[in-house]
Amino acid sequence: MTRDESSSLSGAPSKVSALAWQLLLNRILTRDNLCYRGIIGTAEASCPLCGGVVETSRHLFLHCNFAAGIWYALSRWLGVVAVLPPNVSSSYAVLVGWGSNSKRKKGFSIVWLAFVWAIWKARNDRVFNNKVINGSEVVDFIQHRLLRLRVEFGVKLLVLAAAV
Ligand SMILES: [Zn+2]
């Protein structure tokens, strides 16, 4: 993400902004990171949502069929044509870039926060509660929570580091 591409995020609820920062810094505790830290073995590192490949943040939040389906559904909802971004930080830049003015950019940054929050929540429900959530439920969650989140975010701005 370049300085030009970087934008501001509303002052999100602390747990949401903490997740976003950890994700953009690739410090989120996906299974590849747990494996790297020696907490789990490589045999336990597959994606909990599809079981297909190692769970990295890029896979979980974009390239897993689960996340990709949500990304495309949100794209249609927002009325834009979108290919899947190559990585997590560019997904933020792409989404915010769809905004034609600062107000819409801010709105789309909130959509991105809701997107990553909802995927992480669905992933953790699967891992810790053995609860299966389908993609359309996540899209509904994002759409219905956005208005409330926009209120909760308030006006405080967090400027994303240009190096992220
Ligand atoms: Zn997957």
Domains in the chain: boundaries: 8-25+70-159
**CA 42: distance to chain centroid?**
24
| CA–centroid distance, residue 64 to ligand 1 (Å) | 4
| CA–centroid distance, residue 30 to ligand 1 (Å) | 11
Mind listing the pLDDT tens digit for each residue in 48-80? 999 989 999 999 999 999 999 999 998 888 888
| CA–centroid distance, residue 150 to ligand 1 (Å) | 29
Prediction pTM value: 0.81
Confidence tier at 158 by pLDDT (50, 70, 90): very low
Place of tokens 């030009």: 4
Burial tier of 154 (Cβ tally within 10 Å: 0-12, 13-18, 19+): exposed
